Amino acid sequence: MFKHINDEINSVFKRDPAAKSRLEVILCYPGFHAMLFYRLTNWLWRKNVRLLARWFSNLARWLTGIEIHPGATIGKHFFIDHGMGVVIGETAKIGDDVTIYHGVTLGGVSLVKGIRHPQVGNNVIIGSGAQLLGPIIVGDNARIGSNAVVVKDVPEAATMVGVPARNVTKSMKDAVAGDITFTAYGIASEQLPDVVMKNFEEMEKRIADMERELLETAKRWESH
């Protein structure tokens, strides 16, 4: 029990430079409070004391602004930064060393019983306002940009941005090499690609290529 608490505190220090003391984390971090409640409610849920588990999780939601269903599976060193508006559904699974920011939803889109929520791998960062919907699989080391809406599986080490989210990582090697240090909000602002502008640039390039091909074809016909 105390080891879990110590791990949660260490996770905050590892990933939030604003943390000044262990006492500050214990008293002032809603993500830390939410995880303490979750460890209790998940234990009760697994012991089949489910009404009490739901009551405590609802109390935690009221106190912290973070809603974690007792049935969710969460690994080690999970860190919720700021936290307000975070929702994690019943069948969600989260690996080790995962970081998520405020406004994130790991939600379901089906009314059929079974796995309905995202299955998130290890060392994943999910930016503020991101929505991960359905029983999708998010690979290890993935980065989800702020306000992205993810409805399909995410490859390992991919960086996803946009609505719907697109993979903007050139290669898995580049993703891992380019993210040696912690990157707040999923991807650094100077690296965040403008997906819409990129599409326009690709369209302009394609149109220019087609115009050049047409011009060359017209010249060949004239030479005949």
Catalytic positions: 102
Residues 6 or more apart whose CB falls under 8 angstroms from that of 80 comprise 30, 31, 34, 35, 66, 86, 99, 100, 101
The whole-angstrom separation of Cα 154 and Cα 138 is 5
Among 61, 57, 58, CA closest to 41: 57
Token code pair at residue 12:
């905050």
Cα–Cα dist 107/89, whole Å: 6
HSE-up (13 A, CA, CB side) for residue 214:
6
